Structure formats: C-alpha cells, structure tokens
Amino acid sequence: MVLGAAAVTVLVAVAVLTALTALTGSSVTQGMRHRLVADPRLSVSLSGRYVEGGDTAADAQMRAALHRALPGMRAEIDQVLHGSMPLRTPLPKAAGAEASSLGLAVVPLAVTEPQRVAELAQGAWPTGLEQVALSESAARWLAVSPGAKVPLALSAGGVLSVTVSGVYRELPGAERLWRAWGATSSVDSPAGLVLASQELLRTHPLLRDQVDVEWTAVPEPGQLRPEWLGLLRERVERLTGGDASRAVFRGAEPSLQGVRAASDLPAALNDLRTPMMVARSGMLVPVTLLGVLSAVTMVLTARQLTDFRRAELLLQLARGAGRARLLGGAALEWALCTVPAALLGVWVAGPLLRLLERLGLPVEGAAAEAAGAAAWAVAGVALVLHGCAALLPVAWTADGGERETPSRSPRRAVAQRAGADLVLAAVAVLAYLQLRQYEGLLSPASSAVGFDPVLVAAPVVMTVAAALLLLRLLPPVGRALESLARRGRGLVAPLSGWQVSRGRAGQAAPVLLMALALAVGALTTTAIAGEGTSDRDRAAFALGADLRVTGGELPSGVRRAALAGIPGVAGVTPVASVAGQVQGVQTSVLAVDSAAVQPLATSERMASGAWVHAVPAVRSDLEQGSLAGQLASLREELPVHGMPLQGRPSEVRVRLAVSAADRVGPVWLAAQVEDASGLVTEVQAELTADGAARTVSLPLASGSLNYPLQITQLRLRTAARGFPRATFRLTVSAVEGATVPAGARWVNVTRGDVRVGGLGCPGAPGGEQESRRIDAGVCEVSQPSEGLLSAVVRGADPTQGEAVDGVAFGLVPPGTPKRVQGMPVAGYAVPALVNEAFARKVRFGIGGEVRLTAGAEDQFGLRIVGVLPELPGGGDREQAQMLVDLPALSAARAGMGLPPVSDEAWLLAAGSKSGMAQAERAIAADPRLGRVESVGSRAAAMAEDPFRSGRRSALVLSLALSPVFAVAGFTVHAVGSARSRRREFAVLRAIGVRRRQLAGVLRLEQLAVVGFSVLLGGALGVALAAVVLPLIMVDGGGRAVFPALELTVGWGWTALVVLATGLGVGTVVLVLSRMLARVDLARELRAGENG
C-alpha cells in the first residue's frame, strides 16, 4: 500500500508539474503569436522606382530577399504600385471658415485584386486612366460621392483630373498591408490612399517618374517560437538598416533603382520582450507554489516508505547485510515503483491538458509542449527529489543511524528553535522587501534568463516561511486540547490531546502540507476574485470615464448634443489639453467642464470595482478630500470675459462700420463664441471697408450648441498680399441680444508687441524713426459713449514676407490693469488640481501660483487649489499634470489673446452597466461621432489578453489540485502513523481498551490536526493575499497595477476549497480510523523487533 501511494504521488506530481510547465511555455508562445497577429506593424516592405519591365525582372529577387529576412515563417507577399509623392486636393470651404491652402494629401495606389484588401461601400472599382476609389474617410472629408470630379494637384505642377468610381472600406484582416502601404506612401494615414488602376499608374504621362513599385511581406506567426525572435529581429534590421539593393540583387545588376527597405517589425518584437517576461514570471509563481506542494507530498510519502521498511532494514543489518546490498535492494524496489510512474506522468500530461481544453480552460497549444525537454526535466527532478528522500535514510540506517543520539538540554532546544524562527522570519521579510523594491516581478536580472528567479520565488518563500512559523502553534493547541479533555471521564480525548501536544507521529509534515494547500487555495481564489474589479478600476483610470470618444467628423456642438442624447448616458464633457512648461518642467494641462461632471462624483461611482464611474474616474482611495468639492473649486472666481447672448440664437448679428483710406483687399470680422461647456467656435463674415454702418450676420450651427453662449473675442483680419498696407477704423456699435457686463471693457489682446511705434499709425510721434513692424497692430482702442468698441488698426505689410494679418480684441473685467509690454493682459490665474508628479517636480504647494510657458512665450497663470494624486485619463503618471475647468481655461486664453482650445476627446458617464454597453453600441454605429472605447470593453480586452490566459489557467489548476495534494498526503500520513503505532494499540487493547475507543483516538487526533491545518491554511492564504497580491499582480510593463489592487477575498470559493479539503481529509480519517484500529494482539505482542 505504501509503495502504491509513493507511485501514485510521483505520477500525480509529475503529471501536474509537466502540464503546468507546458502551460507556461505555451501561454508565452501563444500570447506572443496573438499579439503579433493583431499588430499592424507585422510587415516588411521593399520598394524601388518604377520603370517599364523593371518590376517583372526584379520580382523573383525581391520575393527571395523578403523570405530570407523572415526565417522559419511563411509570408504572403503582395506587389503594388503607388505614387512616390502625395497629390493634393482642396478641402471644401466650410461656411465661415477659411479653407486649407494645402488641402488633403492623397497617394494613388494600384492593387492587383483590390477586393482582397477592401470592400466597396458605394460604386465600383476603378478602371482606365480617369477613375479612382476613395476611402470612406476621404469621401466624407471631401464631401463627394461616386461620379464626382476631383482635381489632384501634383507637387511639380499639373493637375490630374479623376472621377470617383467608388468608395471603399478596408477589410478587417488587411490592416497590416494598409499600414505598410501608408507608411511608405508619405500620407498621414491609410485613409489617404486612393485606389486606382494599374493602367493609370503605369502609363499616365503626368505620373512618369513619380511611381514606386513595392513588395510587402506579411509573415504568418503561427509557427513562430520565442527563441527565434532574436534571429528574426537581426535579419530584418540587417535588411532595413543596410544597403537594400545589395541585399536584394547580391552583386548582380539591379533591375530597379532606388531600392529601399522599411519595416516596423523590430519595434514590434522589442515591445514583446517585457510582456513575455511578465507572462512567464506570473505563470511561474503558481507553478512554483504547486511545485512546493508536490515536493512536500513526495517527501512525506518517501518518509512513510522509509518507516515502512525500517524494521526489515534493521533485521537485515543485524544478520550481516552490507551497506551496498541494503542500498541496492532499496534502490531497485524504489526504481521499479517510481520510474514507471514518472514516465506515465509525462505521458498523462498531454491528455490532461487536452481534457482541460475541452472543458473550456484556455490552454491552447499546451498539449503539444507536454512532451518536450522541459517535461523530462520535471520528471528527472521529481525522481531525484523522491529518490533522495527515500534512499538517503536507508544509507543513514546502514551507517548506524539508528543509534541513539545525545539528547539536547531544554534550554538549548529552546534557543535552537528561536534561532530557526528568527531565520524564517528574516527570510520572509527579505522576500517581501525584494518584491517591494522592484514593485513587481521584473528586475534588471530578468532580461538575462527571461524572469527573475529571486522575485518569482519570493511569494513561495514567504508562504512556506509563514507556514513553518505558524507550526509552532500546534503543540500549544494540543496541550489546550489535552487540558480540556482531562476534565472529562473518558480516555479518548486526553490520549488524543497528549499525542498532539507531544508532536508524536510526525504531525508537522502533514500540517505543513495541509496549510500550504489551503493557503494556495485561498491565495488563488483571492487572485481570481480580484482580477475583475482590478480590470475595471484600471480601465476606468486609463480612459478617465465610463466611455471615451476620440476623433469624429462632427462639429463640437453637434457632437455634444448627439452624445448627450444617447440613451444610457448620464453626463458628457469635452476634454481639451494644453502642453507647456512650468518652472522648466514639461506639464500637461487637461480641461473638463467641471460643472457638468461635479454631480457624478458620488461614493457609489468612486468605489473599487464599480460598474459606472465618476468623471474623472477617481477611486475613493485616491482622492484627497472631496472630489466634488475639488471640482467645484475649479470654477471659483471665474472672471467676466464675454458678452452673454440671450436666448438660443442661430446667428450673431453685429452692428458695425469699418473704413479705410486706401485701396484695400478683403476684410473679415471673426467672433469667438463660447458655449456653456467652455468650447469656443469661431464664426466670420466678410466686410466692406466703406465706412457705412451696417449689421453683419455671423451664422451659428443652429440647434447644436450648448447654450447659453457668450462672445469672448472679436478679430479683424485683412488681406496680407496683393494690396498696399492700409489703416482701418473699426467701430462696433452693438451686438443684438447682448450687453457688456457692468464695468467690463473691450481691449487689445493681440499677441506680440503692444507698442504702436513702427506700425506707421496716423499721427504717432516718431513712428517712422523706430524699427519697422510688418505685423498688423492696433494703434488705438477705446469705448465710445454709445457703442462697444472703437479702434484704429494698421494692416500687415505685404511687402516684407509672412506677417500676422489680424488683430484681436477681448473683454476684460473691471479693475484689469492696462496692458504693458512684457506683462500679461489679464491677471486671472486658472484654478488647478495637480498630480503628485507635479507636486514632486515643481515643488509648489496649495495656494501657489505658477505660469505656463511654451518655449519663451508666456501662456497663462495657474493657481494650485488641490492635489489629485493621480489624474485619470491623463496618460503617463510620471508626467506633471494639471486638471482645470474648461470655461476657466477659455477665459484665461481669451484674455491673453491665445487661440481657443479644441475638443480632443469626450468623456461620458453611463447611468448603469447596461447603459454603458447601449451607449457604446450607439456611438460605434455612427462613425461621425468618433471612435468609442468603454470601461467594459477595455476591461474585457485586459481579461482576454493572451498573455494572461495562461496565468488564469494555472490559477484554476492550482485551486483544483491543491486539495488533491492535501488529501493524498494526509491519507499517506494517517496510514503510516497508524501502522507505526500498532504495538502501542496492541498494549492498549491488552489492558482493556476497546477497538471503538482506539478508533476514536485516531479519529480525534487526526481531526484535531485537520482542523488546525484548515484554519491555519485559510487564514494564512487570506493574509498572504493581502500582502503579496498587490506586489505580484502586474501590468504588461511588469509594474504593479495601478490603481493598486484592492483586496477582494473570494469568500465563497475560499470557503468551498477549505470545506472540500476538510471534508475530503475528514472522510479519509473516518474511514481509516476504524480500519486501522484493528490490531492482531498475538502477532504484535509476540514480535521482538526494535520498538
């Protein structure tokens, strides 16, 4: 029975550890492959200048060079033609806005079978010399549809007039090809690629010598292994970094000129190094924990095997058997028992993994890894460990190890135990400090071997050391049980307590095994339970809100109205950013509409693991004070900076007159209109400089603005070329539906030099003797008795090159000092919340005022009103960041004459979990609103990360198998313990103790050990989870996750594991106690062996 238990233990240990080792390798491999498949940078391109017949002659050599650069990988190679220089098509001129002088950059691209990489949304594929197909984005930008004529201007002169034959969209599986073509085609994005026919690029006279032929290889990483990455990176870098023509033609006469190679594949491979090390390290922690469990179980069974044969060994030794004979016989017996079990364990690992895959566990590819060198290494280590534990006692016994050893004095024993405890405590503390130092599982040593063995072993060392220290509680528990039992009249309880208190029958090993198994189970359940909440917290922090919308094609007002009207949305705010320096420290200023998001800052939305979040998505443990109060402080003392418009106007009607003494070109009046969220829209209209008073209408985007509105700035723009420099007199009498706030006045806020000298202003003394200024400027500005603004403006000088062609007037509150050269226009400092990185680098406390600069130019002032340790949605946590109110930021920029900020993203708060999903679907269905990402989708992507799937499988296996090791090890211990005490039981039976009482002694003794182990292991697991998990749960970069992991104990699963283990072991004890209590009195009392 003992030999069978030893064999089964070795078989299970080898099978489990082999499966986990294979799972570790396969998870890293499969994660690497999945990442590369989804990476658009996975391509290598070779291109050259097209000449007739050159592409055909060079085709075979180009393809061969690409295959050489991708060793061991199958690759699909596509040949295309594309323009070498971008063509320009003018954007349509929007109402009230100036059209771009450059237009949209596009490049014609000829693909042999376009339907393989794109699908038609409208129209047909292009044919002939005059047809092209546009991307959906380009068609929307240009506002064209099939059949429209589009002029394409060449940089060298000439216009290629084409007809839009169709509108296409990229196929989802062709992102890598499109990205490669876009990268080599000098366009900002693949949306600028215009599909054309081969005939157009090969034969059109305007494109002669302006066409490149390109071969793009997209490798298939399905067979790629991690150990091949170094060679692959080296080959691709050698091709792209050297002489591409020589690498292709290998000394032969080149068929193409200007051959060059391009690839971002090395960067993609470099980006995989850290995630692969993180995945490997994260997998090795549960593998090592189960390895320790397996080792303790095997040592326990090996010791029982030694105890089982000890009497026989002593008898053979007494009869003259030599050491070699004893050791050889024991080794043969051991090998016949365990070696086949180890081999069978290696074979069983593959079917076990396939079974787990059928049950739904993500163990893809692990079964194929189960028969590799690592599997045989696991089997060899298991055999060596079990063999040493089983055979070394035999050698020790043959050398006289059974002779009685000198006893230690009690004082010395206490000192030795105390010293051992101190060593264990020191080891546990040292392991914890190592994890704290590196804040994760990676260190500089990780790059050498793919993981840091010290950091991987640290959680295991802490677990084992803590379990060994807690074993010191077993004797006091036994004595307490014995003392309690003495009060009764029975024999069973005192005898059981006495046995436990004396530590008889080697309880330490089974208690350690049970405690470790349950600690692993509790640790695992806590890790699994905390993953979901941690993913949601991390996703919310990264996005800044429940949903984040970027890009889009609608005006800000239209988009805000559309987003706010989506069912499931509880709040909307635009996000704007300004970059600059504060005290020489690079700083990012983020702005939101604080009034719109302040009601969302509730405790429910800020709780860890919440399904919906505040905006910004600050977790309650990361706020200092009240987030709602801090948001409210961002709009304190907001100065007057605009003229409020009454009602919901669809246009701004300005009563004005502008005159010029000389002949002038076009003159425009532009007004900046700020909405309730702080976003600014500029509208403009052309004026007639004849001095006549008239009302000018500046149309707004009716029905889509966030009312109420206010006018914050007026600008006068003049023609800078083709006309002589002119002097204008501008008088603004009124704006319909608006009045100037009491005490406020319009002043000159034009950026740059505020002096009038050098402008050539009428009647300015000494103006002509000063240095001549070419920019437009304000000679004088005043507020008439009946009107808003009267100013004399000097236009730009068109003869001196590029000049600023406009001036700006802003509204400032009462008490604002007159503008002086070198001093800010307005003294308003924007209230700001700063992150810890800002506080650490800039060293300004609450109440301090700083200035944001861009280079040598002053931007505006900021006043620190609070600290938000980390700013959700702000990106890099190590960068100094500030959060401000968007209307406050617009006020400061308007007073400084700075251009308004634009909405770079929109943050949306959902009303519920289902509302978040509903809103995400609605936004995704309308591409004009932009690209949307939700906390739910980001958290799901984190959970489905292929690098994490292996760790999750290992955790599930640890959870399922740790009780198995506990039950198996404790069963072997119980059997061995009872067999070693047969003579003791025989004596007790001889003096009248009944068999039922002996069974009760065994039952109570073992159940006391089981109960202690269950409580010890469960408490140890939860405690270690609180200490260790925040340090070993890391992100893809190997750093501890942020926000930090909140301890979420899976009480249900933990209780289930503890209960299952306790019931399993208890059942074994109940069954075996009656069977092992049977004693053959005649045989045992007649025996004369030692003991």
Tell me which long-range contacts 897-902 makes (C-beta under 8 A, separation of at least 24).
Answer: 897/713, 897/749, 897/750, 897/751, 897/808, 897/810, 897/825, 898/751, 898/859, 898/860, 900/672, 900/674, 900/679, 900/680, 900/682, 901/576, 901/577, 901/578, 901/591, 901/680, 902/556, 902/576, 902/679
Task: Please state the rounded mean pLDDT for residues 447-459.
Answer: 72
Confidence of residue 1070 (pLDDT cuts 50, 70, 90): low
Task: Please state the rounded mean pLDDT for residues 318-324.
Answer: 69
Query: Nearest CA to 463 among 435, 439, 442?
Result: 435
Residues 6+ apart with CB under 8 A from 726: 660, 661, 662, 663, 664, 689, 718, 795
Kindly tell me if the per-residue pLDDT of 739 is higher than 70. Answer: yes
Residues 6+ apart with CB under 8 A from 192: 86, 104, 105, 106, 107, 135, 138, 182, 185
Pick 635 or 189 by higher pLDDT: 635
Kindly tell me if the per-residue pLDDT of 724 is higher than 80. Answer: no
H or E stretch including 471? none
Token digits of residue 222: 């399905």
Distance CA 522, CA 1020 (A): 8
Classify the C-alpha dihedral 225-228-234-240 as positive or negative: negative
Helices 982-990 and 946-980: angle between axes, nearest 10 degrees: 40
Distance CA 345, CA 11 (A): 5
Calculate the alpha carbon distances from 806 to 689, 716, 733 in Å: 15, 5, 20
Q: Which residues pair with 944 in a beta bridge?
A: none
Token digits of residue 246: 């020589």
Instruction: Enter the DSSP assignment of 225.
Output: -
Query: pLDDT per residue over 930-975, tens digit each?
Result: 899 999 999 988 888 878 877 788 888 887 777 777 777 777 776 7
Kindly tell me if the per-residue pLDDT of 503 is higher than 80. Answer: no
Task: Please state the rounded mean pLDDT for residues 680-698.
Answer: 89
Helices 373-398 and 2-38: angle between axes, nearest 10 degrees: 150
Calculate the alpha carbon distances from 657 to 171, 776, 791, 865 in Å: 56, 19, 11, 44
Residues 6+ apart with CB under 8 A from 347: none
Range of weakest confidence among 54-58, 236-240, 641-645, 1056-1060: 1056-1060
Contact 1003, 1069 (CB under 8 A): yes
Q: Is 517 exposed, middle or buried (0-12, 13-18, 19+ CB in 10 A)?
A: buried
CB atoms within 10 A of CB 19: 32
Kindly tell me if the per-residue pLDDT of 722 is higher than 70. Answer: no
Token digits of residue 260: 């060059």
Task: Give whichever of 430-434, 487-491, 1081-1085 has the largest mean pLDDT.
Answer: 430-434
Range of weakest confidence among 28-37, 585-594, 658-667, 778-787: 658-667
Pairing of strands 131-135, 159-170: parallel
H or E stretch including 780? strand 777-782
Query: pTM surpassing 0.85?
Result: no
Pairing of strands 104-111, 131-135: unpaired
Question: What is the DSSP track for 110-166?
Answer: EESSGGGTEEEEEE----SSSEEEEEHHHHHHHT--TT-EEEEE-TTS-EEEEEEEE
Distance CA 820, CA 754 (A): 7
Residues 6+ apart with CB under 8 A from 408: 416
Q: 357-369: buried (b, 16+ CB within 10 Å) or exposed (e) per residue?
A: beeebbbbbbbeb
Range of weakest confidence among 612-616, 748-752, 800-804, 918-922: 800-804
Kindly tell me if the per-residue pLDDT of 385 is higher than 70. Answer: yes
Pick 130 or 509 by higher pLDDT: 130
* CA R_g for the chain: 40
Pick 637 or 494 by higher pLDDT: 637
* Residue whose entry in the numeric block shows the structure tokens 């002589």: 724
How many residues make up the chain in this entry?
1091
Q: Which residues pair with 132 in a beta bridge?
A: 164, 196
Task: Please state the rounded mean pLDDT for residues 708-729.
Answer: 83
Give me the amino acid identity at 794: R
Confidence of residue 887 (pLDDT cuts 50, 70, 90): very high
Residues 6+ apart with CB under 8 A from 947: 27, 28, 31, 35, 275, 276, 278, 279, 1036
Query: pLDDT per residue over 968-1016, tens digit each?
Result: 777 777 676 666 666 666 666 666 666 676 666 666 677 777 777 777 7
Domain ranges of the chain: 2-26+272-535+943-1086, 85-209, 552-638+828-929, 643-812
Range of weakest confidence among 324-333, 547-556, 676-685, 708-717: 324-333
Task: Please state the rounded mean pLDDT for residues 772-798.
Answer: 84
Query: pLDDT per residue over 342-370, tens digit each?
Result: 888 888 888 888 887 787 777 777 777 77
Contact 914, 612 (CB under 8 A): no
Query: Nearest CA to 526 among 1068, 1056, 1069, 1050?
Result: 1050
Classify the C-alpha dihedral 298-299-300-306 as positive or negative: positive
Query: Nearest CA to 678 among 623, 631, 641, 724?
Result: 641
Query: Nearest CA to 959 among 293, 325, 375?
Result: 293
Distance CA 264, CA 586 (A): 29
The angle at the Cα of 929, spanning 927 to 930, to the nearest 5 degrees, equals 70
Pick 224 or 98 by higher pLDDT: 224
Distance CA 681, CA 670 (A): 10
Query: Nearest CA to 600 among 624, 562, 627?
Result: 627
Query: Nearest CA to 808 among 788, 834, 778?
Result: 778
Instruction: Enter the DSSP assignment of 846.
Output: T
Q: What is the pLDDT of residue 499?
A: 63
Task: Please state the rounded mean pLDDT for residues 832-845.
Answer: 89
Query: pLDDT per residue over 120-155, tens digit each?
Result: 989 999 998 889 999 888 888 788 889 999 888 887
Q: What is the pLDDT of residue 1087?
A: 53
Q: What is the pLDDT of residue 99?
A: 36
Contact 862, 590 (CB under 8 A): no
Percentage of the chain exceeding pLDDT 90: 18
Pick 920 or 419 by higher pLDDT: 920
Contact 1061, 967 (CB under 8 A): yes
Query: pLDDT per residue over 392-442, tens digit each?
Result: 877 776 555 444 445 556 677 677 777 777 888 888 888 888 878 877 777
Range of weakest confidence among 163-177, 258-272, 306-320: 306-320
Confidence of residue 95 (pLDDT cuts 50, 70, 90): very low
H or E stretch including 318? helix 265-318
Q: Which residues pair with 781 in a beta bridge?
A: 791
Helix-then-strand count for the chain, H and E? 29, 31
Give the phi and the psi of residue 17 in degrees, each rounded to 5.
Answer: -70, -35
Kindly tell me if the per-residue pLDDT of 376 is higher than 70. Answer: yes
* Residue whose entry in the numeric block shows the structure tokens 């070795």: 10
Range of weakest confidence among 560-564, 638-642, 678-682, 951-955: 951-955
Question: What is the DSSP track for 69-115?
Answer: HSTT-EEEEEEEEEESS-EEEPPP--TTSPPPSS-EEEEEEEESSGG
Strand order in the sheet with 694-699: 694-699, 651-660, 727-735, 789-794, 777-782
Give me the amino acid identity at 676: A
Kindly tell me if the per-residue pLDDT of 767 is higher than 50. Answer: no
Q: What is the pLDDT of residue 991?
A: 66
Confidence of residue 1090 (pLDDT cuts 50, 70, 90): very low
Classify the C-alpha dihedral 606-607-609-611 as positive or negative: negative
Q: What is the pLDDT of residue 769?
A: 43
Distance CA 111, CA 165 (A): 15
Q: What is the pLDDT of residue 826?
A: 47
Contact 998, 988 (CB under 8 A): yes
Kindly tell me if the per-residue pLDDT of 13 is higher than 60. Answer: yes
Classify the C-alpha dihedral 1002-1007-1012-1014 as positive or negative: positive
Contact 441, 285 (CB under 8 A): yes
